[in-house]
């Protein structure tokens, strides 16, 4: 039995729209979270299974990546300019987070990743692979 959960986050300064899909694409949960570490971790710890999370690169991306990485199976930070499917149809935070979760589940996102500042002692730098 595959217990994977795919989580799409539409991140803003004050709030995050979150959508959780199971491995079949069925909607498990939608939520609006405060953009605070304790709130985000409480949400993540309330989920069971193999957790795969995605969100778009932005001002909070480095912080959120470092926060989530120890708590989930996979964190994928994606390039918003490469997500053409997000531009199709209606736009809202809820819709965007759902589309991100669906794209992650379907393995249709390209990743950018965060180089760990503690190891490099240099400012954060996004690297594509």
* Average confidence score pLDDT of the chain: 87
Structure confidence at residue 82 (pLDDT): 76
Across 15-29, average pLDDT: 97
User: Which domains, ranges and CATH numbers included, belong to the chain?
Assistant: 5-128 (3.30.420.140)
Per-residue pLDDT of 48-85, as tens digits, reads 999 999 999 999 999 999 999 999 999 999 988 776 65
pLDDT of residue 2: 82
**What are the E-state strand segments in 23-94?**
27-34, 51-56, 74-78
Residue 77 is predicted with a pLDDT of 95
Is the per-residue pLDDT at 1 higher than 90?
Answer: no
Q: What angle do CA 4, 40, 86 make, to 5 degrees?
A: 65
């Amino acid at each position: 039995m595959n217990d994977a959960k795919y989580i799409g986050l539409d991140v803003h300064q004050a709030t995050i729209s979150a959508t959780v899909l199971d491995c079949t694409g069925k909607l498990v949960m939608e939520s609006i979270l405060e953009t605070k570490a304790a709130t985000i971790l409480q949400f993540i710890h309330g989920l069971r299974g193999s957790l795969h999370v995605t969100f778009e690169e932005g001002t909070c991306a480095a912080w959120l990546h470092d926060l989530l990485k120890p708590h989930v199976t996979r964190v994928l930070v994606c390039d918003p300019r490469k997500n053409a499917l997000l531009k199709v149809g209606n736009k809202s935070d809820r819709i965007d987070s759902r589309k991100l979760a669906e794209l992650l589940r379907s393995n249709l996102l390209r990743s950018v990743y965060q180089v760990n500042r503690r190891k490099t002692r240099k400012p954060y730098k996004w690297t594509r692979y």
